[in-house]
Amino acid sequence: MHRGLRALAAFVCDLVIGDDWRVALGLAMAVAVTAAISRTAFPSWWLLPTAILALLPWSVWRTARRRA
């Protein structure tokens, strides 16, 4: 049982964090801010797409720069 839970935790960690923990952290922060803003009268629908549009090119640029 313990071995199976460890394998599941490793899979989830690899799925969520993947190759770049900074992107995972940025998206987690965007989800948290979106949840906080959604409790106000201010519209929050735009925050997650904006975070994705900012984080994806940044991640690609960092990876390309690292491999050059």
* pLDDT score of 30: 95
Confidence of residue 16 (pLDDT cuts 50, 70, 90): confident
% of the chain residues with pLDDT over 90? 51
* Half-sphere exposure (Cβ direction) of 29: Cα atoms closer than 13 Å: 10
Question: Rounded to the nearest 5°, which phi and psi values hold at 31?
Answer: -65, -40
Task: Label residue 26 exposed, middle or buried (CB < 10 Å: 0-12, 13-18, 19+).
Answer: middle
* pLDDT score of 65: 87
| Pairwise CA distance, residues 16 & 31, whole Å | 14
Average pLDDT taken over every residue of the chain: 89
Confidence of residue 36 (pLDDT cuts 50, 70, 90): very high
Higher pLDDT, 63 or 57: 57
